[in-house]
Amino acid sequence: MPSIHELLLDSATIGILWEATLQTLYMVSVSLFLSVLLGAPLGVLLATSRRGELFEMPWFQVVVGPAVNAARSVPFIILAVAIIPFTRLVAGTSIGTTAAIVPLTVAAVPFLARIVEGAVREVDAGLVEAAQAMGARPLQVVFKVLLPEALPGLIHGITLALVAMIGYSAMVGAVGGGGLGDLGIRYGYQRFRPDVMIAVVVVLVALVQGLQTLGDWLARKADKRNIQ
């Protein structure tokens, strides 16, 4: 068992921990922004492209649906290694915090697309029919009916994706991605520093708890059923 003195972080280690936390927040926030930018339109199309729906494109379901499922089925650590050539092409390198954004985004886009699809499909079809009866065009239905009505579910889904991406960011440390995962592996595991490993776990848990609480609060605020 390590002594209490071995579990106390010195100032230099605290500085490294703070830097690793900032790296994790950077890669996760940028990856989340990109995945929402790419995954949200994809999810909306998956939810509205069947026969008789707003953007009727049966071929889209046949081609893109299985591709999204296939991408979601690949374990993240394998995906991160498999797309190293693509990461190097996009980021100019396959090592570092910025390079880690590429596999994080690639993994999050299909995950987020399915979340958006599920949230949009839960919207009452009667609201869509009423909007169409009043002459609303498909894009107007999406931005004025579907997305506003699905907002609580979207917030919950994005929060879930964000929590998953924090876990992914820790795993990407195993392939030189930087951040808390890299710190835990290089300092905590390889250098036999239980204090560092415990600190990394505590920070990761605190991040997840804080973001989950914030997401739940925002979802409640966006839910019209909670408005008195």
Mean pLDDT of the chain: 85
d(CA 46, CA 156): 19
Query: 225 pLDDT band (50/70/90 cuts)?
Result: low
**Is residue 173 within 8 Å of 181, Cβ to Cβ?**
yes
Interval 192-209: pLDDT, tens: 778 888 888 899 999 999
For tokens 């204090």, the residue is 195
Does residue 97 have a pLDDT over 60? yes
Over residues 40-62, mean pLDDT: 87
Query: Could you tell me the pTM of the whole model?
Result: 0.85
d(CA 139, CA 44): 11
Q: What is the model's pLDDT at position 197?
A: 85
Over residues 20-31, mean pLDDT: 92
